[in-house]
Amino acid sequence: MIKRTLFFGNPAYLSTRHEQLVVNFPEEDKKEATIPIEDLGYVVLEDPQITITNGLLMKLVQNKTAVITCDKQHLPCSFLQPLVGHSEQTERMRYQLNASMPLKKQLWQQTVTAKVENQANHLLKQGGNALKLKRWAKGVKSGDPGNIEAIAAAYYFQNLFEGLEGFSRNQKGIPPNNLLNYGYAILRAVAARALVSSGLLPSVGIFHSNKYNAFCLADDVMEPYRPFVDAVVWDIIETGCNINELTRSIKAELLSIPAMDVVIDGKQSPLMVAMSRTTNSLYECFAGISRKVLYPDFVWC
């Protein structure tokens, strides 16, 4: 089932009644609105004057709805997750924590290969030369000792947005870095939500291991999904709109990322559903049930 994404960019009072999210606005001319909580996958809270009741937070968490808050720059900065996301959580976490280093290296090899392959296909879609990326994707070794992931990313962005003067991929760089940052933050929340639902710890990665990062594993599994965000950003740029500011319409496009269609294991699926398949297949690798992580393929005609 495709879950809805709600975005609140204005002051509002959010509460719950009869298993519904109830929205009331300060403006007298706006009527009360209700949405079934079971339909919600993501709730993005941007305006600092939003008030939300504890009763609603409890029901959203129990529904495994990702509650995302934003900072003063209007970028997602936090993610509320349940303490218990799966009935077998303890056992699944034990498998994850006991994963051997050779297994982690093999999983990271699969992840990097899938990411570079998807970057190559996206670059080809936009008319770029992806021969190097295709070659690098085939040459990734266990653990990626050659750091192909970083080398490929530098080449990919240099060629993807070569028409934008002065662009380089940097979180604090010039646009469209602002769009990429927002899209990746949404993707990160999708990955974290799926990992929790699969009974895994988002903070214990297979490659990322920064002690200050609470979402290392989410950053790992989202890597092959990044080109799908890049494709959305590319399409926004192609409209010719002003990308210096994250307008409401641009945010609406980026917030559609969880519901966009991708192809995984030969079948079309919403990205949020595909991410759940990815995280469950990762658990199966930790448990010794499978040796392959399922990642989406960037397919274009």
Cα separations (Å) of 14 from 7, 21, 23, 105?
12, 7, 5, 45
Distance of CA 244 to the CA centre of its chain: 22
CB 83 within 8 A of CB 196: no
- Going along the chain from its start, the domains and CATH numbers come out as 4-80 (3.100.10.20), 89-297 (1.20.120.920)
Separation CA 163–CA 21 (nearest Å):
44
Please work out, in degrees rounded to the nearest 5, the angle formed at the alpha carbon of residue 7 by the alpha carbons of 185 and 22: 135
Cβ proximity of 157 and 169 under 8 Å: yes
Residue 86, marked binder: no
| pTM, full prediction | 0.92
pLDDT per position in the chain (301 positions), as tens? 678 999 999 999 999 999 999 999 987 678 899 999 999 999 999 999 999 999 999 999 999 899 999 998 888 888 888 878 788 999 999 999 999 999 999 999 999 999 999 999 999 999 999 999 999 999 999 999 999 999 999 999 999 998 898 999 998 999 999 999 999 999 999 999 999 999 999 999 999 988 878 899 999 999 999 999 999 999 999 999 999 999 999 999 999 999 999 999 999 999 999 999 999 999 999 999 999 999 999 987 5
Tokens in use for 160? 């993807």
208 is in an annotated binding site: yes
Residues 6 or more apart whose CB falls under 8 angstroms from that of 295 comprise 110, 111, 114, 118, 224, 225, 264, 278
Neighbouring C-beta atoms of residue 11, cutoff 10 Å: 13
CA geometry: angle 193, 214, 296, nearest 5 deg: 45
Residues in the chain: 301
Are 284 and 95 within 8 A, CB to CB? no
